[in-house]
Amino acid sequence: MPERDLMGDLAAWAQEAWPGKRPEEIQVEPLAADGSLRVFVRLRAGMRSLVAMANPANPAENLSWEYLAAHLGRLGLPVARVLAVDQQAGRFLMEDLGSGSLMEAVAAAGEDQEAVVALYRPVLAMLARLQYQGAQGLDTSLCYDGPELTPEVLRRQEAGYFLRELVLGAAGWQPEELPPELENELEVFCALAGEARPRGLVHRDFQSRNVVYTKGRYGLVDFQGARLGPAQYDLASLLHDPYVQLPWSIRERLLAEYLETLAAQGPLNQGEFLAGWAPVSASRLMQALGAFAFLTRKRNRPHFAASVAPALASLARVMQDPTMAGFVGLRQVVRQTPARLGPHSFDFLGELQ
C-alpha cells in the first residue's frame, strides 16, 4: 500500500480507537521514521496529542514492540503507554512523548560542556535501569531479531554489514585488495565483542535521536530490537553517537559516571566492563556505518551520508585502544577507507531494497 494511503487508513483507525469520546476532527502530522519502514503520524484532537504507528509488513517486530513497551513501562522507564492495538493490521496508538530529542538539546547547549553533561546524566540513569533491571524477567522468545547479541550475530549483522555495505559497497574495495588476515581477525574480534561481560538488556539503538527530550522530560523510543547482550553496547551507541559528536573528554567523563551509576544497580566488575569497552564500541560503530551506507545507497535516504565521516573518525580512534592492537588488517581497512570515499560513494543505486 502507498505510504499516503497507509497514513490515511492509520489516522482513520486511530480516530475510531481514540480513548474516551471519539473526536469529530483530528489533525494529522506525518512523522519521519528515520531508518525504519514503519509509518508514524502525530494526531491532535482538541488539547490532546497522540502518536499512531503502522507496520503491517512485520508482525514479529510488532509483537516485540508491544511486549517490550509493557516490559519497560513496568520498570518505570519513560516509554509511551500503548492505548490501542490492532496486531492483525500492525497498528498502534500511543501516548505522545514529545517532538524534541536529545540530539537537538545537545545542539542547543552549544559549547557549554557542563550543560551537555547535565543533559546526559538522566539518560545514563535511564540506561542503567534498562540494562540491569530490564534483563530480569525478560521473555527472550519475544525478541524478534534473536534473543541475544552473540559473536555470530555481531559477525553477520555488524562486522559483515560494515564490510559488505561500506567497505566493499560505498568505498569500492575489491575483495582481493582486503588484507589476507582480515577474515580471521573478524572472527576473533567478534568473539571478543560478543562475549564481553557484564551482560544486560541491550536497546540496540540507544542514540540521541531515540531519546526524546521535551521541556526537561525524557522519553525512549525505537526499542523493538532489544535483546540480551554486552552491557557496553548501548553506552557505546550513546557516547560514540555520530549525530552529536561529543568531545572525547566528555565521552571519557560520561563513561566514568556511567560505571558509578551502573554499580549502584548491583555488583559490577569495572575492569571486566572496561576490557570489553573498545571491542564492543568498535562493533557498534561498524553496525552504524553499515547502516548509513545501506540506507543512503539502497533506501534513498541521503541525509545519513553526513554521519559517515564522524563515525569513521570515532572508529579509527577506538581502534587505537591497546585491546585492538592485534587487529592489524582491520585497522588498515579502517585507516584507508576514508580516502576511498568520493562525492558519489553514497548515491542512490536506483532501486529500493
Alpha-carbon gap, residue 337 to 292, rounded angstroms = 15
Pair 129, 69 in one domain:
no
Grade residue 89 by pLDDT with cuts at 50, 70 and 90. very high
The three cell numbers of residue 349 are 543505486
Q: Could you identify the residue written with the cell 516490559?
A: 71
Q: What is the CATH number of the domain that holds 47?
A: 3.30.200.20
Domain count, the chain: 2
Q: What is the CATH number of the domain that holds 143?
A: 3.90.1200.10
Alpha-carbon gap, residue 138 to 68, rounded angstroms = 9
Contacts of 264 (CB under 8 A, 6+ apart): 128
Dihedral (CA of 75, 81, 84, 89) sign:
negative
Core vs surface per residue 275-299: b (16+ CB within 10 A) or e? bbbbbbbbbbbbbbbbbbbbbbbbb
Pair 44, 59 in one domain:
yes
Pair 132, 71 in one domain:
no
Pair 118, 241 in one domain:
yes
Grade residue 108 by pLDDT with cuts at 50, 70 and 90. very high
The three cell numbers of residue 127 are 540506561
The three cell numbers of residue 117 are 553533561
What pLDDT, on the 0 to 100 scale, is given for residue 133?
Answer: 96
Say if 192 falls within a structural domain.
Answer: yes
End residue of a domain, out of 64, 95, 126: 95
End residue of a domain, out of 34, 60, 95: 95
Q: Which helix (H) or strand (E) holds 273?
A: helix 270-299
Say if 351 falls within a structural domain.
Answer: no
pLDDT digits 0-9 by tens, 142-168 = 999 999 999 999 999 999 999 999 999
Say if 349 falls within a structural domain.
Answer: no
Q: What is the mean pLDDT of the chain?
A: 96
Report which of 339, 286, 341 is spatially closest to residue 314, judged by C-alpha positions.
Answer: 286
What pLDDT, on the 0 to 100 scale, is given for residue 33?
Answer: 77
What pLDDT, on the 0 to 100 scale, is given for residue 67?
Answer: 98
Q: Containing domain of residue 38, as a range?
A: 3-95
What pLDDT, on the 0 to 100 scale, is given for residue 350?
Answer: 85
CA 60-150-198 angle, to 5 degrees, is 110
Pair 89, 107 in one domain:
no
End residue of a domain, out of 77, 95, 113: 95
Alpha-carbon gap, residue 271 to 288, rounded angstroms = 26
Pair 250, 268 in one domain:
yes
Say if 332 falls within a structural domain.
Answer: yes
Please report how many Cα atoms fall inside a 13 Å half-sphere around the Cα of residue 187, on the Cβ side. 3
Burial class, 216, CB count within 10 angstroms (exposed 0-12 / middle 13-18 / buried 19+): exposed
pLDDT digits 0-9 by tens, 211-232 = 999 999 999 999 999 999 999 9
The three cell numbers of residue 295 are 540506507
Say if 225 falls within a structural domain.
Answer: yes
Pair 7, 110 in one domain:
no
DSSP labels for 247-272? -HHHHHHHHHHHHHHHHTTS---HHH
pLDDT digits 0-9 by tens, 44-60 = 999 999 999 999 999 99
Pair 191, 47 in one domain:
no
Say if 347 falls within a structural domain.
Answer: no
pLDDT digits 0-9 by tens, 264-289 = 998 999 999 999 999 999 999 999 99
